[in-house]
Amino acid sequence: MEFELPDGTILHLADAATGADAAAAIGPGLARAALAVRIDGELRDLSRPLPAGNDHRPRLEMLTERGGDDALALVRHDAAHVLAAAVLDTYPGVKIAIGPAIENGFYYDFEFPAGTVVNDDDFPLLEAAMARHIAADERFTREDVPVREALARFRAEDQPYKVELIEDLIANQGARTVSLYTNGPFTDLCRGPHAPSTRRIKAFKLQSVAGSYWRGDSSRTMLTRVYGTAFFSAGDLKAFEELLERARANDHRRLGPQLGLFGFSETAPGSAFWYPAGTEVYNALVELSREMGGERGYTEVKTPILYDRSLWETSGHWQKYREHMFTTESEDRAMAVKPMNCPGHCQLYAMRPHSYRDLPVRYAEPGPLHRNEPSGTLHGLLRVRHFTQDDNHVFCTEDQIQDEVARALRYAFDVYDVFGFETSLELSTRPENRIGSEALWDRSEAALRAALDSQSLAYRVNEGDGAFYGPKIDMHVTDALGRSWQLGTCQLDYNFPERFELTYTGADNAEHRPVMLHIALMGSYERFIGILLEHTGGGLPVWLAPVQAIVLTIADRHAVYGGLARDRLREAGLRAELDDRDESVGRKIRDAELRKIPYMLIVGDREAQRDEVSVRAHGEGDLGATPLREFVERLAQAARTRAAR
RNA sequence: GCCGACGUAGCUCAGCUGGUAGAGCACUUCACUCGUAAUGAAGGGGUCCGGGGUUCGAGUCCCCGCGUCGGCUCCA
């Protein structure tokens, strides 16, 4: 047999040679380091005979610890098997479900015997059991067995989940054999591949336990999922834990109350209370939308919060989302609080006649929305029951779609640029369940593509992921810790104009149906602030900082000049405070640093005499003295231009 | 909504097997008048998430509810 190695050389091997043989043939070091072998892109166990390429010479590549995410996924999958083995040791009678590698780790789902509750107190015991399986250097051995044999085996072991999986493999894929992997006393149904032995797991840790539905189906059994992670070195594990620690320090739920921005109360689950400082941030963002949206032709409107049920029947919400709306009644009329602005905007559009000359109509509304989200899904500012979207709705003709989408995309990039986010785009196309003709979908998808292309934007296509009423473009950003968030969306909608019977009079004097675009860039202001806090760790840029500069006096006698300096800042439209407490300068600086105030202005005899301030920037330290007037101008400029810092 | 964990002062937390609640920071007052990340001293502050129950006695044990956290399902 012949294989082509990554460097282009040809490897000659005897027939029936295994991956391990290949590694040995390349070199003894590689033979020791190899985890698995990749043939034409497919990973296989080292112990399996290599497949002969019939009509071509297969490419062969050895996977080692340095193989990046693939290597990590492999060893984490190994660790999942070791976890299952450890759980079987510790809890006889446990039923095992599935245990894959996932991003950053692995998990295994179990059904514990009735009455047995497992939580993180049990981790030391389980980790010790795992460590024994690893120290024993158990080999992962693969056998391909007929499905009947596998079924008999798992039935005998009373493992109903494995039986169900095999039955599905037979039914859906016509499987006749399945592969089983054994390490030590434990055998699992598994596609593989695995490393040669458990010893290759150099560092691991169990992380958490959580409930999860069997096969992700909420009507089926709730299993217990144990999460863990594994690495090739203790150092890598430690680095990962430090990253988690950093993410914890940036947790907006911790930062928000700490910085006095917002808080939560049991009296309003899933709804933030905004303190003055948080309200400054919030308002600054709304102001950004007003200013940038206004410049681009999106005009602000205000629509009611509470509507008669008939509006929701027209929009379809009453039938589809009633459980998730807050309802009330008035004089025997059922009413619901709006979960989105679009029906109100459709109503607003419908209340007056429109000529084609008026289009496009672009409504913007920072309208407060309420959605009755299930209690278990609430999460800080990121998933709430009360929030405000930077919502824009454009009513236009079909011919205008491309221009309007392009306009929205430019708007989005302009907004994201202000925050310095990396952005990526996704186009979602027609789903299985949809309304409208094929010709309509062809036209609308083409319009979105044309809009993306007209701006020379790169994007990924998600086939079949669009809304049932139209395709959409989703906008994602990556934060400072490398996490991706979906923020913006631009959705094409033929459904609402139809339901609300919206019309405009065309040049032909006939009535036509407009098309609607739903555009949100930051998404919800609440969620956006959450993301911004996670991204910045709370050190907001000057234009967003609730307090932009704080004047710190050295002694009592500087309070008058300090007050004057603060007033100058305020007169320039800046948010400034004076700290003239009876405390040491060191103390005042420390407090201001902890509040992450961008600039600290220290004033003593020297500054008071020369009309100066000593500037200290957050996280940077002393920048020296500057004339007060000069500093005020500079800071006002930075705030006005929304400079990054 | 489902599974598990958690809920003690404004915050972070201690409180062993049931015996009448404590620390640090914050806050208040006083002294100090200070030059780039914590001056010192004194003091005030608690329906131990809520409601039932067991007990001579419950922060602690049991039950129900609420909220929060980790996930799962959901997310127009």
Separation CA A453–CA A427 (nearest Å): 12
The separation, in Å, between residue A524 CA and nucleotide B71 C1' comes to 24
Q: Scanning the structure block, which residue is given the tokens 């139809």?
A: A498
pLDDT in tens, A167-206: 999 999 999 999 999 999 999 999 989 999 999 999 999 9
Residue A602 CA, chain-centre distance (Å), reads: 41
Q: DSSP letter for A558, please.
A: G
Separation CA A575–CA A174 (nearest Å): 69
According to the model, what pLDDT value does residue A468 have? 83
- Does the nearest atom of strand B lie within 7 Å of A625's Cβ? yes
According to the model, what pLDDT value does residue A121 have? 85
Separation CA A374–CA A324 (nearest Å): 8
Residues 586-605 of A with CB under 7 A from strand B: 586-587, 589-590, 593-594, 600, 602, 604-605
- Does the nearest atom of strand B lie within 7 Å of A325's Cβ? yes
**Residue lying closest to nucleotide B72, CA to C1':** A212
Give yes or no for a contact between A446 and A488, defined as CB atoms under 8 angstroms apart: no
Separation CA A328–CA A321 (nearest Å): 15
- Does the nearest atom of strand B lie within 7 Å of A270's Cβ? yes
**E strand map for A494-539:** 504-505, 511-512, 515-524
Total length of chain A: 645
**Nearest residue to A546 via CA among A579, A575, A589, A567:** A575
- Does the nearest atom of strand B lie within 7 Å of A607's Cβ? yes
- Does the nearest atom of strand B lie within 7 Å of A102's Cβ? no
**Residues paired with residue A206 on neighbouring β-strands, in sequence order:** A228
pLDDT in tens, A473-492: 999 999 888 889 999 999 99
- Does the nearest atom of strand B lie within 7 Å of A641's Cβ? no
Separation CA A264–CA A520 (nearest Å): 25
Residue A601: which H helix or E strand, with range?
strand A599-603
> Which bases in strand B are touched by protein, i.e. have an atom under 7 Å from a CB?
1-5, 7, 11, 30-39, 66-76
**Residues paired with residue A476 on neighbouring β-strands, in sequence order:** A424, A486
Give yes or no for a contact between A60 and A22, defined as CB atoms under 8 angstroms apart: yes
Provide ipTM, 2 decimals: 0.93
According to the model, what pLDDT value does residue A645 have? 67
Tokens of A269: 């689950």
The separation, in Å, between residue A121 CA and nucleotide B5 C1' comes to 10
pLDDT in tens, A54-63: 788 899 999 9
The separation, in Å, between residue A44 CA and nucleotide B58 C1' comes to 61
Q: Which pTM value belongs to this model? A: 0.93
Q: What mean pLDDT value characterizes chain A?
A: 94
According to the model, what pLDDT value does residue A365 have? 97
φ, ψ dihedrals at A77, nearest 5°: -65, -40
Cis-peptide into A360, omega within 30 deg: yes
Q: DSSP letter for A18, please.
A: B
Report mean pLDDT in 10-residue bins for chain A, 645 residues. 90 89 92 93 93 85 94 97 96 95 96 87 92 96 95 96 96 94 95 94 94 95 96 94 88 92 92 94 96 97 96 92 92 95 96 96 96 94 96 96 95 93 92 84 91 92 87 92 91 92 96 96 96 93 96 95 97 96 94 95 96 96 96 97 86
Separation CA A496–CA A48 (nearest Å): 58
The residues near A103 (Cβ < 8 Å, ≥ 6 apart) are: none
According to the model, what pLDDT value does residue A351 have? 96
The residues of A carrying an active-site annotation are 342, 371, 389, 391, 393, 472, 518
The separation, in Å, between residue A445 CA and nucleotide B69 C1' comes to 42
The residues near A49 (Cβ < 8 Å, ≥ 6 apart) are: A16, A17, A18
The residues near A3 (Cβ < 8 Å, ≥ 6 apart) are: A10, A11, A13, A22, A39, A50, A53, A57, A58, A59, A60
Residue A107: which H helix or E strand, with range?
strand A105-111
